[in-house]
Structure 1
Amino acid sequence: MLERTNAPASRPTKGEALRQQVYVELRRAIEQGTFAPGTRLPPSRAQALTLGVSRNTVLWALERLQAEGYVVARVGDGSYVSEHLSQWASKRSAPTPPALGASLSNRGRQLTHAVRHWNPPLQGALPFRIGAPEVASFPFALWDSLARQSTKAERVAQAQYLDPAGSPALRSAIAQWLWASRGIRCEAAQVVVCSGSQQAIDLIGRLLLDGGDEVVVEDPGYPGIQVSLAGHGAKVCPVPVDDEGLQVDQAAARWPQARMAVVTPTSQFPTGVRMSLQRRVALLDWANTQRAWVVEDDYDGEFQYGPHRLPALCSLPHAQRVLYVGTFSKTLHPGLRLGFVVVPHALAHAFAMARALTDRHAPGDTQATLTRFITEGHLLRHLRRMRELYPKRQQVLIDAVAQATQGRWQLRPSNQGMHLLHEMPADYPDQALSQRAQEAGLMLAPLSRYTMESKRRGWLLGYAGYDSTTLRMAVDRLGTLLQK
């Protein structure tokens, strides 16, 4: 007979029906072999008396077990554990299954291996984490107000399955914004809304590359791009970066079969240099001659602080083989999880369908709110505030670092981007200081983390997402570490 036990799992918990508890206990007893296949179960009255519940509660549990095939009821003879469970019982002591990794497909193992080289931080943004925008002063109240402007009919429509490429209104707003802000002429039909730039890179790798295809990447460069491409079976081909950006001549000479190049021309990640016009033209010539694709990752292209803003690469003539990737993670905030990719007309449908296979589409209400945020001029005003704020924070960082290090560290100011680079001689062991900084509550990324073959070393210091007081306190801690 099933006995009551003092184990927590056997006592009915608050808010959970007694009959569910009885069912769970009976099923567990059958699965663990307390009641073997073919065994006659105790009468329902006896079970109820033992467990201190009503007979109807036990009958409900038995009926459910019968419906699931665990129990067979024999008229006039009671309930029995199904004989069909005998094969299951014989395997109860089977060997432990192999580790999960051994069960992965070749593609799964390849992807798992690639991801080992990319460790995006999971904790909150601590100084000097790079890529973290100013979030505290984001106009959340305004955003909420815009969200409430949707009528009942609009909200009902937004709650349906939507176009995987994005809402027509948002795609149109993005296209108009790109023309005004980045000099990019495109139609709304060319814009595919994504869950951030990382999904855009994933779609590009899946749709435009075959296993073994060579892809040129910047070295140093962003590991998230390299890992995504490698996960699709591409051969990631590093090319050095100098003060003019990607060395296109080396890319052409070393990787003559390359099918794609991924670049960050407005503010090279992580060095922050701008790709010169000569290099831009050479890269477009290479792409058109090779019939290769160029992926322009304009991750923080909106943050240019000088009197003249550099237009996007794909705004140049003969840029028909450039795919432009943008994100609202930096211009607004990462929690929004919205970005986009601008593709040639011939590829737009394929990208939309591939996005549908991944996660169908972006949330409709968020798309509607972002559309209003752009078309009513709030994005422009927000970016103007950030373009005024970030250079001030950059200067606070430069001055504080120079003071805390007695001039040993002299950060070079930059007219673009959200972080600064303090570079050291080649092969300098930059990991040790980064580890000590982490223990002190700082996120000081070593330059070596973003290299493949390059021997360049140093540290990246993000400043955009931290107020002046936070930056000064963080620099003081950094200065203490350097003194040790």
Structure 2
Amino acid sequence: MKRHAGALLSSIRIDKSSDRRISVQLYMGLRELLLSGGVTPGERLPATRTLASELGVSRTTVIDAVERLISEGLLVSRVGAGTYVSPALAAQKPLSMTPVGNPARMAEPRLSHAAIHAVPDFGPRSRLPHQSKAFITALPALDDFPMAQWAKLSARHWRKERDHVTGYGEPFGYAPLRSAIARQLNASRGIKCDPHQIFITNGAQRAFSLVGGMLVNPGEPIWFENPGAIGARNAFVAIGAMPVPVAVDDEGLCVDDGLKKAPHFRLAFVTPSHQQPLGHVMSLSRRLALLKAANDADAMIVEDDYDGEFYYGDQPPPTLKSIDTQGRVIYVGTFSKSLFPSLRLGFILAPEGLVEGFERICKAWLSGVPTVTQAIVADFMDEGMFATHVRAMRQLYRERHDVLIAEAEKLAGLLDVQQTQSGFHAVGLLNRRLDEQVLVEKAAHAGIAISGLSKYELQSKNLNGLVLGFGSTPPDEIRKGINVLHKIL
């Protein structure tokens, strides 16, 4: 492989009509670029012949300018290796690039309503988890992912035709992956569907934005679980929807509360298989009531099945989609939990009545998810690796859950941690004398990550508790984390 040609310096402008010599212009241009931090200390410059060709000047002119900069110590020459930006410039504060002028006269760009009110409208949300520690939520067991198998599949596809791996993705999604997902939903979640109903998206949150943008006009009400999933809530707020906080109890979404607050709702968002964050499974009576309410209001339902693969009981919790006979449920899934978050891969299962609408909007302005990523996941599923991985993770999460519940007995009376039947987070209810926010802050200082239940509220319900993730945390770290939390409590 040929050695790279060095930094691109095409920002340097040479004015051949100027009275100033070209070598001086080049010298001053290079010098300003070096001192302003436009090139990195230690970075190699192009060969003098290459630079002369790119700038349209003679090689002698380039050599003259480069030698002056070497004599000043801004560049260093290495025999047989080329010319490099001096490492000494790493300690040099770059020259200010702020335009000269009266600050009072500088234009202040007008921001959108969404940008101005982002924090109060969207609610608090820090960076999504990226590093494992107790008790971080939403992060799977990345250390147990079969990376060697993944690497082999990846290499297989990167060796294929360039069009397969480097072009724009198909707007609806890679056909073999759509078929693999349809088979998986039928086999594991009891949902009978056709591949043409599956639309691949850049993660679940992109799916929520797509659904909201297609079905909801700004200001229209949507039922939203309170407390509920933050990412989904923000996706709907961003498209101008008006979330209506609907209470949640042990049976799931309280349909009567929703009807009382917004009987003419446009959309309802629910997590029936494992309510986010409380962990309840929606009862059959509530499911039927929700489907009836949606039918009466001519509304649609978004079912977020974010961790439905990871159940601990004899039978997985049923999906709402599996009992939908009127085509009211839009099912959204993600590979962030079952595989890993940085895939940014989700999907929509659309009712037949919405397939044409999704096709129209995807064709109009979606370029699709990278084909190679989808192809790797399709092979991972078709060759049985996905099912094997899910089975292994299901067992691993159950073991970590059991460790958490056993260790949490030390916290009885202060924090009562509730058992869960699926997923990889549990909820702990705090003694009313304890301040949730203070505990979250003190835990962060102690090196453990806990989330307060109030963070998930759209409207205050006076919840006082913590959400404890255990998916990415080995048993020993869970035990250490509980000991730290015990001291804080």
Is TM-score (shorter-chain normalized) higher than 0.5? yes
Alignment-derived partner of residue 424 in structure 2: 418
| Higher Rg | 1
1:160-239 equivalence runs, <5 A: 160-239=167-246
Q: Which runs of 5+ in 2 are unaligned?
A: 32-47, 59-98
Contact 1:197 1:325 in 2 (8 A): yes
Q: Which runs of 5+ in 1 are unaligned?
A: 1-13, 28-38, 65-89
Alignment-derived partner of residue 309 in structure 2: 302
Contact 2:221 2:267 in 1 (8 A): yes
Question: Counterpart amino acid of 1:97?
Answer: M
CA distance in 2, matches of 1:198, 1:135: 21
CA distance in 2, matches of 1:48, 1:218: 63
Alignment-derived partner of residue 271 in structure 2: 264
- State percent identity of aligned pairs: 33
SS of structure 1 residue aligned to 2:144? coil
Q: Does 1:334 align with 2:341?
A: yes
1:74-473 equivalence runs, <5 A: 92-93=101-102, 95-100=104-109, 103-106=110-113, 108-109=115-116, 114-121=121-128, 124-150=131-157, 152-154=159-161, 156-352=163-359, 354-355=361-362, 360-403=367-410, 405=411, 408-424=414-430, 429-453=435-459, 454-473=461-480
CA distance in 1, matches of 2:157, 2:457: 47
SS of structure 2 residue aligned to 1:331? coil
Contact 1:427 1:455 in 2 (8 A): no
SS of structure 1 residue aligned to 2:415? coil
- TM-fit CA distance, 1:374: 0.7
- TM-fit CA distance, 1:476: 1.7
Alignment-derived partner of residue 42 in structure 1: 20
CA distance in 1, matches of 2:320, 2:218: 27
CA distance in 1, matches of 2:331, 2:24: 72
Q: CA RMSD for the aligned pairs?
A: 3.3
- TM-fit CA distance, 1:369: 1.0
Contact 1:240 1:246 in 2 (8 A): yes
1:4-83 equivalence runs, <5 A: 23=12, 41-44=19-22
- TM-fit CA distance, 1:356: 5.9
Question: Counterpart amino acid of 2:201?
Answer: C
Cα deviations by residue, 1:132-157 (Å, 9 ceiling, x for unpaired): 11111101101111223348555532
Contact 2:266 2:299 in 1 (8 A): yes
- TM-fit CA distance, 1:288: 0.9
SS of structure 1 residue aligned to 2:417? coil
Paired positions, count: 427
- TM-fit CA distance, 1:366: 1.2
CA distance in 2, matches of 1:409, 1:112: 30
- TM-fit CA distance, 1:423: 1.3
Alignment-derived partner of residue 476 in structure 1: 483
Contact 1:196 1:329 in 2 (8 A): yes
- Residues 47 and 349 (structure 1), Cα distance of their counterparts in 2 relative to 1, 3 Å cut: same
- Residues 15 and 407 (structure 1), Cα distance of their counterparts in 2 relative to 1, 3 Å cut: same
SS of structure 1 residue aligned to 2:337? helix
- Residues 44 and 194 (structure 1), Cα distance of their counterparts in 2 relative to 1, 3 Å cut: closer
CA distance in 2, matches of 1:50, 1:211: 54
CA distance in 1, matches of 2:142, 2:447: 20
CA distance in 2, matches of 1:261, 1:52: 59
Contact 2:253 2:270 in 1 (8 A): yes
CA distance in 2, matches of 1:20, 1:123: 37
Question: Counterpart amino acid of 2:320?
Answer: L
Contact 1:215 1:237 in 2 (8 A): yes
